[in-house]
Amino acid sequence: MRIAVASGKGGTGKTTVAVALSMAVSEKVLYADCDVEEPNGSIFLRPEISRTEKVLVEVPEIDEEKCISCGKCAKFCQFNALVSLGTPPLVFPELCHSCGGCAIVCPTDSISWKKVSIGEITVGSADSGRVSVIQGKLNVGSSLAPPVIRQVKSHIADDILTVIDCPPGTACPVIESLDGADYVLLVTEPTPFGLHDLILAVDTVRVLGMPFSVVINRFDEGDDGVENYCKNEKIHIMAKIPHRRSMAEVYSRGGILFDAIPEMLDLFKSIPQMIERGIEVE
Amino acid sequence: MKEIVVISGKGGTGKTSITGCFAALAENAVLADCDVDAADLHMLLAPEIISRNDFISGNEAIVREDDCTGCGVCKKNCKFDAIEVTPEGKYRVNPFSCEGCMVCVEVCPVKAIDFPPNHCGEWYFSHTRFGPMVHARLGVAQENSGKLVSTVRLEAAAKAKELNKDFVIVDGPPGIGCPVIASITGADLIVVVTEPTISGRHDMKRVLQLAQHFSVPACVIVNKWDINPEMTEVIEADARNSSAEPLGRIPYDRAFTVAQINGRTLVEETTGESVEKITTIWEKVCQKLK
Amino acid sequence: MKIAVPSPGKDLESDVDSRFGRASGFIVYDTDEKTFIVADNSQNLNAAQGAGIQAAQNVSSTGAGVVIAPSFGPNAFKVLKAAGVKAVTCSAGTVKATIEDYLNGKLSESDAANVEGHW
């Protein structure tokens, strides 16, 4: 089963919940960090790295002998990755989406493809080998999160419980991370900001037609807006994590949820079974 | 007119709450929300929308099913798996996967694919109790872009000039990507709101690097500083090394949440240590801009 | 010689725009004819990415041999270099004062991008 952990905005405790879930269960688990612009699950899981691999994408390479400097490729490119100044085009690989359009419009077949690296996948394990950790990291300078996320997901096997730490927000890297997950946990805070961003996230998972429930972090610190919303919308609240100042302190030092709030352990342990049952009911 | 941009890198550091306080403390400002991924400033400022404007970025492919012959060439050429077969054996574009590359439009043998401008949201001009505000809202799965940030900033600056305002106060986008660059180029001052955590420190260093590259003066506020005083010291030292002045520390304070619940900025909600600190920080910001 | 300067305005008394890629236009001054035109750059605003590259291409197509702006990203710089347009950096001021400074030798050519590009 694949459980994606997402949130409408950053800083609500998404990584805290994803890490806690991975550490709570006693079975083997894969933690997939798809927050590739800011992968920080490893700060808390501290995996031993066994190997790394590059994320490669194809970008155009111009054969200047064949090129007649017609500029059609640059005119076609929607991403400004090619520029023609009456010369063979300049290529800006970091802007290229690898759509293949330039080669299609080139009248002299002057464009071939070369592979460039846009990020890195790290494979490791934590908690004496029980937790496998796959982390994707986008290179500084690249804006193409989806290929890195796709490669992280290519490591996910079907027979192992998987926790997917999604990027914050509701934009396309989130959609890419959610694609293929069986269930979504939306992490929020009981504040007006938290509720506002939760509603956007709920809209997104509903559009995608995915089963989901909500985890309220610091539930006793705000108002009852989130709980009322969930009640009205008939959204199940999977967990309510109490506010402890010590949690902020533990977090700032790279500790995990149960270091500050050990009594949450039993609930987190049972989340996969609860989801399993919930999915069967639906 | 001086433009102040508040950014944070990671989310949840209190950037928007502090921006709201600046809005309340500045007597003559235009406010701009460029944090379109989590556009929350309006919840503190309760803007009354005066005008709505379409926001367009890039183009999207749409198959005219009546003209589609079902040949499947588009699907074969799409690198983003964005083309689906309909029950009638025709093809359609899944807008969530489409990256707007135009390849399908080009290869369709019967030219049955349109490529209209992509309406990805709206931007608004509004009135608030602290002055005019420019803000925006994106549709589901639409990307915040350098373009949207530039649009909001440009409109806010134009308004400030027209109304002879002293400040434009911008709630900047989260993260460290392209929208952040678009939010800081040419600004008069960057205020980085960070927190004393490992990722807070990491992101602050990245955004200060950006500020240096773009030669925009920057300063740093450590929010919730008392959850890890040693880390606060480290962060302030990092800031100085990047030529950014630490402007002050704000303690962990539940009053921020209470103020948010009441739809007010902290300086309207209460008095006390945090409000004093923020007021002092705002005075320092004004001095730096003189 | 033609000199291009990014500006939101329509005449030589307008301010220099601190944004190169997303400037709404360029004022292109012809030092021989002592005239200027305003070259539109606003279609570029529709681009979600690569604004600096497109702006550099637009400058090149005006026939300018020099462009003066507060900063250039590496992508814009690469295009300008390939197009044989000199990139010169300046600080804030009016378009007119900036061009005069350049003609009086007060501004120098930038030999590398002075800002990091796309992150």
| B143–A252 CB contact, under 8 Å | no
Residues of chain A in contact with residue B202, where contact means CB-CB under 8 angstroms, are: 40
Q: Measure in Å the smallest separation between the Cα of A168 and chain B Cα atoms.
A: 9
- Both B90 and B188 in a single domain? no
User: Looking at residues C13-22, what average pLDDT do you find?
Assistant: 86
- Both B275 and B181 in a single domain? yes
What is the tens place of the pLDDT at every residue in A228-240? Answer: 999 999 999 999 9
Containing structural domain, residue B91: 61-115
Prediction ipTM score: 0.83
What is the tens place of the pLDDT at every residue in B245-286? Answer: 999 999 999 999 999 999 999 999 999 999 999 999 999 999
| A83–C51 CB contact, under 8 Å | no
Q: How many CB pairs under 8 A join A and B?
A: 138
Top mean-pLDDT range of A28-32, A74-78, A275-279: A28-32
Q: Closest residue of B to A207, CA-based? A: B140
What is the tens place of the pLDDT at every residue in B85-141? Answer: 999 999 999 987 888 999 999 999 999 999 998 888 899 999 999 999 999 988 776
Count the domains in chain B.
2
- Both B154 and B36 in a single domain? yes
- Both B237 and B111 in a single domain? no
- Both B132 and B99 in a single domain? no
**CATH number of the domain where residue B180 is located:** 3.40.50.300
| Secondary structure in 3-state letters for chain B | CEEEEEECCCCCCCHHHHHHHHHHHCCCEEEEECCCCCCCHHHHHCCEEEEEEEEEEEECCEECCCCCCCCCHHHHHCCCCCEEECCCCCEEECCCCCCCCCHHHHHCCCCCEECCEEEEEEEEEEEECCEEEEEEEECCCCCCCHHHHHHHHHHHHHHHHHCCCCEEEEECCCCCCHHHHHHHCCCCEEEEEECCCHHHHHHHHHHHHHHHHCCCCEEEEEECHHHCHHHHHHHHHHHHHCCCEEEEEECCCCHHHHHHHCCCCHHHHCCCHHHHHHHHHHHHHHHHCC
User: Looking at residues C83-108, what average pLDDT do you find?
Assistant: 89
Chain C CB within 8 Å of residue B183 CB: no
Last residue of a domain, one of B115, B144, B160: B115
Residue ranges per structural domain of chain A: 2-55+118-281, 64-109
Average pLDDT, chain A: 92
Q: Which pLDDT band holds residue A40 (cuts at 50, 70, 90)?
A: confident
Minimum mean pLDDT range among A167-171, A190-194, A246-250, B191-195 = A167-171
Neighbours of chain B (3+ CB pairs under 8 A): A, C
pLDDT of A94 reads 78
| B58–C22 CB contact, under 8 Å | no
Q: Is domain A64-109 in CATH 3.30.70.20, yes or no?
A: yes
User: Looking at residues C3-24, what average pLDDT do you find?
Assistant: 88
pLDDT of B18 reads 97
Minimum mean pLDDT range among A14-18, A45-49, B144-148, C111-115 = C111-115
Residues of chain B in contact with residue A42, where contact means CB-CB under 8 angstroms, are: none
Q: Closest residue of C to B57, CA-based? A: C46
Q: Measure in Å the smallest separation between the Cα of C88 and chain A Cα atoms.
A: 20
Residues of chain C in contact with residue A92, where contact means CB-CB under 8 angstroms, are: 50, 53, 75, 78
| A170–B140 CB contact, under 8 Å | yes
Q: Which tops the pLDDT comparison, A18 or A8?
A: A18
pLDDT of A145 reads 85
Q: Which pLDDT band holds residue C49 (cuts at 50, 70, 90)?
A: confident
Q: Which of A38, A100, A223 sits opposite B261 (nearest CB)?
A: A223
- Both B223 and B96 in a single domain? no
Average pLDDT, chain B: 91
pLDDT of C118 reads 43
User: Looking at residues A149-166, what average pLDDT do you find?
Assistant: 94
User: Looking at residues B70-83, what average pLDDT do you find?
Assistant: 94
**CATH number of the domain where residue B100 is located:** 3.30.70.20
What topology does CATH give the domain C2-103? Nucleotidyltransferase; domain 5 (3.30.420)
- Both B152 and B222 in a single domain? yes
The helix (H) or strand (E) run that includes residue A59 is strand A48-62
Q: Residue C116: pLDDT above 70?
A: no
- Both B233 and B175 in a single domain? yes
Q: Residue A221: pLDDT above 60?
A: yes
CA distance A259 to B115: 54
Neighbours of B144 (CB within 10 A): 29
Residues of chain B in contact with residue C118, where contact means CB-CB under 8 angstroms, are: 178, 181
- Both B79 and B212 in a single domain? no
Among A residues 114-133, those touching chain C with beta carbons less than 8 Å apart: none
What topology does CATH give the domain A2-55+118-281? Rossmann fold (3.40.50)
Top mean-pLDDT range of A138-147, B219-228, C21-30: B219-228
What is the tens place of the pLDDT at every residue in B139-184? Answer: 776 766 777 888 899 899 989 989 999 999 999 988 776 778 778 8
